[in-house]
Structure 1
C-alpha cells in the first residue's frame, strides 16, 4: 500500500517539477523572441516518466526507521537548446505563436497535475483518518 502511495506522490512531484521548468523555459523563449541570435530552449521529461511507469521494479527503501524514499527519486528533466534551426535572418529561432500554444498546453497540464496531487493527498488523508472526514 505504501509502495503505491509514495510512488504516485513521487511521480506527481517529478511531473510538476518538469512542467514548472518547461514553463520557465517557454517564458524565457517568449521574453527573448526579439533577441538576435537567441536559440529556443525546450524541456523534455515525458519519456522519463513513461519509462518510470513501465519499470515494475520501482520500490521504496528504508534508509532510516523514520525515512522512506523511492530508489528513483533522482530524475531530472532534460533541457535541450535548439541550435540547428533558424527561422529569421537574425539567427533567432523563436516562433511566438508556437511558444504561446506550448505555454497554454503546459498550463493546462500543470493545472491538471495540481488537481491530481490535491486528490492524491485527499486519499492519503482519508487513509490516515481511517475513512472518516
Structure 2
C-alpha cells in the first residue's frame, strides 16, 4: 500500500483486487467441495463496505481521499442462508459458483487494468515535466 492520499485511488483498487483474489480462492474451494456432505459455501463481503465508505456528500475524489484504508477490509462468511436442495446438506450449486467465478475473474482483471492505467498516467505526468 502506498502511504499517501495522492495514491488513495490506487490503494482502494488494490484493496478491491485483494478481495477479488480472496473471493476467487473461496469459489475454487466451494467448487472443490461440491460433493462434500454438509459443506456450506463460503463467500466474501467487500463491495458493501466500499459502497458504505463512498456514501455521502462530495465528489468521488474527495470521498476516495477520505477513505480509512485500515478499516476497509474484506470479511469471509459462511452462507447458511442458502437453502440446500440436496439430501446431504451441501448448499453449493455448481452453476451458480461457476457464474460467480466468471464474474469475479472479469472484476479482478478490470481492477488490475485500472491500476495499470493509473500508474501509466502518473508515469506520463512525471516524465513529461
Q: Aligning the two structures, in what range does the TM-score lie when normalised by the shorter sequence?
A: 0.7 to 0.9
The aligned counterpart of 2:75 is 78
Structure 2: how far apart are the matches of 1:27 and 1:45? 18
Alpha-carbon offset, residue 58 of structure 1: 5.8
TM-align CA RMSD: 2.0
Higher helix residue share: 2
Task: Look up the SS of the partner of 1:17 in the other structure.
Answer: helix
Query: Could you state the TM-score of these two structures normalised by the residue count of structure 2?
Result: 0.82
**Comparing 120-129 and 39-48, the one that deviates more:** 120-129
**Aligned length, in residue pairs:** 120
The answer for the alignment partner of 2:22 in structure 1 is 21
Distance in structure 1 (CA, Å) of the matches to 2:64 and 2:101: 32
User: Would you say the 8 A contact 2:54–2:63 is kept in 1?
Assistant: no
Corresponding position: 1:111 with 2:112:
no
1:73–1:33 Cα change, 3 Å: same
Structure 2 segments unaligned to the other structure (5+ residues): 57-61
Give yes or no for the alignment of 1:87 onto 2:85. yes
Taking the TM superposition and a 5 Å limit, the aligned residue runs for 1:46-61 are 46-54=47-55, 56=62, 59=65
Show the counterpart of 1:126.
124
